Amino acid sequence: MRIISTPDKGRGVFASQPIKIGEVVEISPVLLFTKEEYTQHGQHTALDDYTFVWPDRSGRMGLAMGIGSMFNHHKQPNVSYSINTHTLTITFKTTRHININDELCISYGPESKLWWRNTQVDDDEDDQVKDMSELDLLQCDYGS
C-alpha cells in the first residue's frame, strides 16, 4: 500500500498490488487522548481530522499510528475496522477484492453525520443505519 495525495480528498491509502477479500491490511497501535486533552488542545489542531472516537464512553479519542488514520471515507467502503480497547489497536480488513491502484476507504458513519458535508442528506439513511456496527464495518473488542 502507498499514501498518495489526491486533489479532492487529500492524502489517502492506495493498493500497490491486488488484495484479497478478508485480508488484514493494517494493525495500528493507538495513541489515546483523554477527553480533556482532546477538547482543550487536540480538536483545535490538524489531529481533529485523523482521530477515532474511542468506544468506551470515556470521551477519549484515539490516533491510529501507521497508516490507520490515513484511510479516507466512502459511503460504500472496501475496508472495515475493528477497535480493540484491551490491546489499544485498530485492525483494518478488506471487505471485498481490491484492485491495484484502488483507494482503500472506511466509513466514518452515516452521510448526514459527516462534519464536512454542507448539503442536507436524507434522514432516511440514519433511520436505516443506527450505528456502524449494524453495517458490520466497525467491531469493538473490549478485552477481558
CATH number, position 96: 2.170.270.10
Q: Specify the pLDDT at position 142.
A: 47
Would you say 38 and 53 are in contact if contact means Cβ atoms under 8 Å apart?
no
**In the chain, how many domains are there?**
1
- Residue 125 domain flag: no
Q: Specify the pLDDT at position 122.
A: 41
- Residue 19 domain flag: yes
Q: Specify the pLDDT at position 49.
A: 66
Domain range spanning residue 92? 2-118+131-141
- Residue 99 domain flag: yes
- The string of DSSP letters for the chain reads -EEEEETTTEEEEE-SS-B-TT-EEEEEEEEEE-HHHHHHTGGGSGGGGTEEE-TTSS--EEEETTTGGGPEE-SS-SEEEEEETTTTEEEEEESS-B-TTPEEEE--S-GGG-TT--SPPPTHHHHH-SSGGGGTSEEEE---
- Residue 123 domain flag: no
- Residue 52 domain flag: yes
pLDDT in tens, the chain (144 residues): 999 998 888 899 999 999 999 999 999 999 988 878 777 766 677 666 667 788 887 778 888 999 999 999 898 999 999 999 999 999 999 999 999 999 999 988 765 454 444 444 444 443 333 344 444 445 545 454
- Residue 49 domain flag: yes
Would you say 49 and 107 are in contact if contact means Cβ atoms under 8 Å apart?
no
- Residue 109 domain flag: yes
- Residue 124 domain flag: no
- The string of DSSP letters for 68-94 reads GGGPEE-SS-SEEEEEETTTTEEEEEE
